Structure 1
């Protein structure tokens, strides 16, 4: 991998971590485990701009470092399961969802992220009672997924505009 690309991936990872840490301090959704998932703007962007391997590097570094920096290493199982489900789903959806509809990919990723976390919660707690919040997580996840997807859509469109302007000069 070239140094320029590695530097871009490192910057995206750092940006995702910064967003993640800031979001930890924001508690506006009263449902346990529900978050806006703003760091996923970077993930959705990376899914459509970089290879699967490069995107996975960003996501896994963010999950590992985010758990350490956030002071909640025990949450790594939940975060990693959600990340694997989300990333796998978005990489598959990328094949059928065109660039102008990436917000749909983000919604599907949010649903899969919540599903991965709920599977871990059921296994860890050895109870299906935790599934009582799953419908609420799906609703908030779809709303947050749409928002993060639209933000990523804006970034990609803006990135394309910048490239087009460079080519015109």
Structure 2
């Protein structure tokens, strides 16, 4: 894929992730834990790993985190977003590269959701200077399985559709 097309696809994917993030922020999801979300932008992240590769997926996440922090709450929001996003990309990219034959996209997405929440809780411990935040981990990890399953199923559906219409060449 030439660099102009790659850059255009990255820009579109950043835009899609931002739109999904905005939609997600408007959904009235009841939550026991403050800030718990579906993780809709992670659908784009997983598709980027599949179609563009790890480096471009990481670029998309970093740009999305920077832009989202401008719209949603500044430095603290950025720290939570970037920690979860980067850790999630690392885990999903590694699993996709090493285990995609044995592990479904849903399984990879669940692992990414678990990593995302773990990264955010670790940042919360640092920012709040207390390990008490770790008490939220069981709830967050349980929610990660549910949300990761949902985003994984969405990613699988969209990946199959994109492969069929061949808009983006699939990476091997």
Distance 1:46 1:21, change over 3 A: same
Give 1:105's aligned residue: 108
Name the structure 1 match of 2:41.
39
The count of corresponding residues between Structure 1 and Structure 2 is: 164
**Deviation readout 1:4-41 (Å, 9 max, x if unpaired):** 11111100110100110121122313121210011111
Between 1:8-17 and 1:21-30, the stretch displaced more is 21-30
The CA deviation string for residues 118-154 of structure 1, in whole angstroms up to 9 with x for no partner, is: 1111111111111111111111111001100110100
How far, CA to CA, are the matches of 1:112 and 1:37 in structure 2? Answer: 12
Question: Corresponding residue for 2:8?
Answer: 7
Note if contact 1:97-1:104 (Cα within 8 Å) is conserved in structure 2: no
In structure 2, C-alpha distance between the alignment counterparts of 1:33 and 1:149, rounded to whole Å: 20
CA contact (8 A) 1:48 1:99 kept: no
Return the offset for 1:163: 3.0
* Counterparts of 2:155 and 2:164, CA distance in 1: 14
1:73-98 Cα distance to aligned partner (Å, 9 max, x none): 42111111111111111111012123
For structure 2, list consecutive stretches of 5 or more residues without a partner in the other structure.
168-172
- RMSD value, Cα: 1.8
Q: Report what 1:158 is aligned to.
A: 161
Runs of 5+ consecutive residues of structure 1 not aligned to the other structure = 165-169
Q: TM-score, normalization: structure 1?
A: 0.90
Which position in structure 1 is the counterpart of 2:20?
19
> Structure 1's 156 and 100: CA in aligned 2 closer, same or farther, altered over 3 A?
farther
How many Å separate the matches in 1 of 2:124 and 2:25?
20
**Rounded Cα–Cα distance in structure 1 between residues aligned with 2:76 and 2:6:** 32
